[in-house]
A and B are shown apart, each in its own frame.
Chain A
Amino acid sequence: AQSVTQPDIHITVSEGASLELRCNYSYGATPYLFWYVQSPGQGLQLLLKYFSGDTLVQGIKGFEAEFKRSQSSFNLRKPSVHWSDAAEYFCAVGAWGGSQGNLIFGKGTKLSVKP
């Protein structure tokens, strides 16, 4: 069965420091992978997605993610964190039942940013 694991429930980084959020997936075929961000009390916004091609994917707000098939990972990175990046981050894999697709989400990683 498809699944997504985000091993870190909560991460705290200092403003200006680099960030890496981990994501591991289980999927039988080449996955479609996503990172979403959720600010408090809001819906989810897409940061970036990977379907095929270059394994390093650029997203919005200066985020990037790297797909590593051998490690079944899709880690999210940012070189310099800003206070406004404090939010909850969700990794997701696209799954198909018949011809319809839906997303399977990890449990999320909450990011806190220290001044």
Chain B
Amino acid sequence: DVKVTQSSRYLVKRTGEKVFLECVQDMDHENMFWYRQDPGLGLRLIYFSYDVKMKEKGDIPEGYSVSREKKERFSLILESASTNQTSMYLCASSQTGRDPEAFFGQGTRLTVV
């Protein structure tokens, strides 16, 4: 089974802190994604990466950055956390090719106070 693991289920951070959300996948997938999920808005793509050290902006990249130094790991960074970044964050991975099926981690519920 594909496994996508996010390092934390719940996080509470203070406004202005630098926050790291970590995601690891064990199926040698080329593509990795970070989504943000808010009630009534569904899943919105923040960033994705299709190779090591490669990244592409999604629909809502402002206030976020990412890092992919190894194929299996994709980090989401909030440079200076703000209360409007309180949300559920979901990491996903998929393989390159015609099948874009994504496999998801369990999510990180981030609260910024």
Determine if chain A interacts with chain B. yes
A binding-site residues for B, Cβ under 8 Å: 9, 32, 34, 36, 41-46, 49, 51, 90, 94-97, 99-103, 105-108
Pick the residue among A32, A45, A46, A105 that contacts B42 (CB under 8 A).
Answer: A105
Q: Mark B33-48 against chain A: 1 for CB-CB distance below 8 A, else 0.
A: 1010000111101001
Interface window among B14-22, B66-74, B76-84, B94-102: B94-102
In the assembled complex, the Cα of A103 lies from the Cα of B34 at a distance in Å of 12
7 further A-B contacts with Cβ under 8 Å, apart from A100-B56, A102-B33, A105-B42, are A32-B98, A32-B100, A43-B105, A94-B100, A102-B100, A103-B92, A103-B100
Pick the residue among A36, A41, A45, A100 that contacts B96 (CB under 8 A).
Answer: A100
Interface residues on B, range: 20 to 34
The residue in chain B whose Cβ has the minimal distance to the Cβ of A46 is: B101
In the assembled complex, the Cα of A70 lies from the Cα of B31 at a distance in Å of 32
Contact B100 A99 (CB under 8 A): no
Enumerate chain A residues within 8 angstroms of B58, measured Cβ to Cβ: 102
Enumerate chain A residues within 8 angstroms of B106, measured Cβ to Cβ: 42-43
In the assembled complex, the Cα of A94 lies from the Cα of B97 at a distance in Å of 12
Nearest CB on B from A35, distance (A):
11
Contact B107 A90 (CB under 8 A): no
The residue in chain B whose Cβ has the minimal distance to the Cβ of A44 is: B104
Contact B48 A100 (CB under 8 A): yes
The residue in chain A whose Cβ has the minimal distance to the Cβ of B100 is: A101
Query: Known contacts A43-B90, A43-B106, A43-B107: does B96 contact A107 (CB below 8 Å)?
Result: no
Pick the residue among A41, A51, A94, A107 that contacts B107 (CB under 8 A).
Answer: A41
Enumerate chain B residues within 8 angstroms of A49, measured Cβ to Cβ: 101
Query: Known contacts A9-B40, A105-B43: does B100 contact A44 (CB below 8 Å)?
Result: no
